[in-house]
């Protein structure tokens, strides 16, 4: 929940500084800014929403459908972010329904999973993530319509970052879960890492096995920081 019209200047700065990036770039502004952002960036990089309702339309006052996001200029939508699960009580079933809604509208779903500190301390991190994958991804999930994002909840906004070994081990586990659940389609699906990614650690994280990109939070609010993360992407 960040961003007003004057903040579109950061997107303009991002566009100006992007050049020939070695990776795909996506920004997910608040829904109120997507249409304006589309005009600002002019297709220089992709835009997405931060959430959507599962239904296309109806008596759901205040909600935003995937079709509305698509109409505003989005091509992706983040679903099941840890904050949505924690503060708004979203369940795996809710996330799966939203993913189907995203696909219906022609959006690519970025489905988030991840464990809390208590779950990790209890030795349940892998089981929690496996359960979220099993229940949050509809059967039709594939690389063409879905990206998975691993968020160690305890590292978001805290400045704490798992070790490189921790990240690599969890991403390998997630890859195994995906291939077991959806077969060959699970081998190609991108797995993003999202947990206090910043310019100082992006290069190391993005070079780890099975890390296919980053889900960047606070560091994406300033073009200078986000450009430094983009520049850290392996060629």
Hey, where are the domains in the chain?
A: 7-13+24-220
Confidence band (pLDDT; 50, 70, 90) for 235?
A: confident
Here the tokens at position 211 are: 């890390």
Mean pLDDT of the chain: 96
Three-state secondary structure call for residue 158: coil
pLDDT at res. 21: 83
* CATH of segment(s) 7-13+24-220: 3.20.20.70
Catalytic residue status for 81: yes
Question: What does pTM read for this prediction?
Answer: 0.96
pLDDT at res. 156: 76
Which of 83, 115, 151, 210 is flagged as catalytic?
Answer: 151
Which of 10, 67, 81, 90 is flagged as catalytic?
Answer: 81
Catalytic residue status for 173: no
């Amino acid at each position: 929940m960040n961003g007003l019209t004057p903040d579109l200047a950061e997107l303009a700065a991002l566009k100006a500084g992007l050049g020939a990036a070695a990776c795909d770039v996506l920004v997910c502004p608040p829904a109120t800014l997507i249409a304006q952002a589309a005009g600002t960036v002019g297709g220089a990089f992709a835009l997405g929403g931060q959430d959507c309702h599962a239904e296309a339309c109806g008596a759901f006052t205040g909600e935003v459908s995937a079709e509305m996001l698509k109409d505003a200029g989005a091509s992706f939508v983040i679903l099941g972010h840890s904050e949505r699960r924690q503060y708004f009580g979203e369940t795996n079933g809710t996330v799966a329904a939203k993913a189907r809604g995203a696909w219906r509208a022609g959006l690519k779903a970025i489905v988030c999973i991840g464990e809390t500190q208590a779950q990790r301390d209890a030795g349940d991190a892998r089981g929690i993530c496996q359960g979220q994958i099993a229940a949050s991804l509809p059967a039709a999930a594939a690389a063409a319509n879905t990206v998975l994002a691993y968020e160690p909840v305890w590292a978001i906004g805290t400045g704490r970052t798992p070790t490189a070994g921790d990240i690599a081990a969890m991403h390998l586990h997630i890859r195994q879960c995906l291939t077991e659940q959806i077969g060959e389609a699970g081998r190609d699906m991108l797995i993003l890492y999202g947990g206090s990614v910043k310019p100082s650690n992006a290069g190391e994280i993005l070079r780890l096995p099975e890390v296919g990109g980053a889900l960047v939070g606070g560091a994406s609010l300033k073009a200078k920081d986000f450009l430094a993360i983009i520049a850290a992407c392996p060629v």
